[in-house]
Amino acid sequence: MPLLVMKFGGTSVADLARIKNAAEKVKKEVERGYDVIVIVSAMSGKTNELVGWVEQTSPLFDAREYDAVVASGENVTAGLMALTLQEMDVPARSWQGWQVPINTTSAHSSARFVDIPRENIDAKFAEGFKVAVVAGFQGVSPEGRITTLGRGGSDTTAVAFAAAFAAERCDIYTDVDGIYTTDPRITSKAKKLDRIAFEEMLELASLGAKVLQTRSVELAMRYKVKLRVLSSFEDTDETSGTLVCDEDDIMESKVVSGVAYSREEAKITLFTIEDRPGVASGIFGPLADAGINVDMIVQNISEKDYDEAHPGAVTDMTFSCPINQVARAKKALEEAQAKDLIKYDELIIDEDVAKVSVVGIGMRSHAGVAARMFRALSADGINIKVISTSEIKISVLIDRKYMELAVQALHDAFELEKA
């Protein structure tokens, strides 16, 4: 019997009416001949409520108890979904992470999958059950404790089950009807993509697109799991939504497939640091130890004999990081200087920046993408502060007030409305 994985996010199961709507979509797939594994998130807003209760009870909480509380939201949804399907005469059973079992590491609140044995769920399918409703976002540690996977972990759960059970496809139901060339709230010209390559989706997810969680895309790419993103609130068929697939499954790729952005960026510059071997390690080692996610990095040309206090070569170093990590980054750098790991004259932080990126696997075979991007920004008077590139991505850091204008300009420059 072919198997399908269907994942429903929090807005798709926000109340009993929406759970019933989702269950009807599951029933249709069962009627088409599939066995179905349904992965559910907590009802919309429930996880935030549970986290709030934990923080009010114990500001310095035990991470194991945090997981025990926060994982309960998915357990409720799984049980309600199974009951709803049973009322529709669909043989269904709910599963919590420890019952599958979903084996994970012991890193509470940020656990990673170890393996998902198939035997228990396969046995229920063999008994005649057609649907296994699994609580997403959770698993069980080697010590037998409940673990959670971090926010957005239900997407990753769905992909992991699709890989473990060799599913035909993994359908991610959400509140949007697919993946767009950019945020439709910024430009009405944004177009829904029929297909997008794993690598492009991974870049877009990591750059700020909220449709799929980054780890889920990484896992799908590694195990070649076909993902489909579609709406819970529309009638759908096998052509609906956007398919995230291998590059070889796309007939012809546009040079640029999408424009992504992130408002939550900050730029940090260290002025007058020694230009010698080991300095970069002295800067970015302490940042890594502090858990800072450094992104764009630029080092200026070195200057000789700056002054009597700086007799050797000196340079400046600039990098970007999430704005909510600025305080930790500043503390880590100041501590590194106090320990003589690095020396700098001044540390300047700019929290009024945004990152805008163009992404496309077609960049590999087309020249002039960067020039086209920079011309478009220049035409609208947008100054670039920092640039970084990869094989299929170009990102720039700009003043935050120009972010929406930049997205619109780049969307027009690459004619993405013709996607």
306 labelled ligand-binding? no
Report the candidate in 118, 122, 116 with the shortest Cα–Cα distance to residue 136: 116
Decide: 111 and 71 in contact? Cβ < 8 Å: no
Q: Is 9 annotated as a binding residue?
A: yes
What token pair was written down for 187?
Answer: 């430009």
Confirm whether residue 66 is marked as ligand binding: no
Q: How many CB atoms lie within 10 A of CB 196?
A: 27
Would you say 7 is a known binding-site residue?
yes
Annotated binding residue 295: no
174 labelled ligand-binding: yes
**47 annotated to a ligand binding site:** yes
Helix axes 214-223, 153-164, angle to 10 degrees: 10
Query: Does 8 appear as a known binding residue?
Result: yes
Does residue 25 contact residue 236 with C-beta atoms inside 8 Å? yes
Binding residues: 7-10, 47, 74, 174-175, 180, 185, 210-211
Binding residues for ATP: 7-10, 174-175, 180, 185, 210-211
Binding residues for substrate: 47, 74
